[in-house]
């Protein structure tokens, strides 16, 4: 819940990635639940993948783990 409420597009996209959602679904999650504007939300790459590298997403997840 902290990640969803953070209003941080990288955090919410990383949460969606960890949950097995597609990058398109991650964008929807950012805008519909996370309160992020369409302009700020991270969308899928031209190939449909996540715009963040896996290590960066793992780092984002780690920021919220255990606290």
- Give the domain ranges of the chain: 2-64
CA atoms of 2 and 12, how far apart (whole Å): 10
Two structure tokens written together for 41 = 């939300």
pTM: 0.93
Mean of per-residue pLDDT scores for the chain:
96
The mean pLDDT value for 2-17 works out to 96
Query: Do 50 and 19 touch, CB atoms closer than 8 A?
Result: no
CA atoms of 3 and 15, how far apart (whole Å): 7
pLDDT, tens digit, for every residue of 19-30? 999 999 999 999
């Amino acid at each position: 819940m902290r990640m969803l409420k953070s209003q941080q597009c990288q955090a919410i996209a990383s949460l969606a990635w960890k949950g097995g959602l597609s990058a398109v679904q991650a964008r929807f999650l950012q805008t519909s639940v996370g309160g992020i504007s369409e302009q700020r939300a991270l969308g899928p790459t031209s190939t449909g993948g996540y715009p963040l590298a896996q290590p960066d997403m793992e780092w984002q997840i780690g920021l919220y783990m255990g606290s």
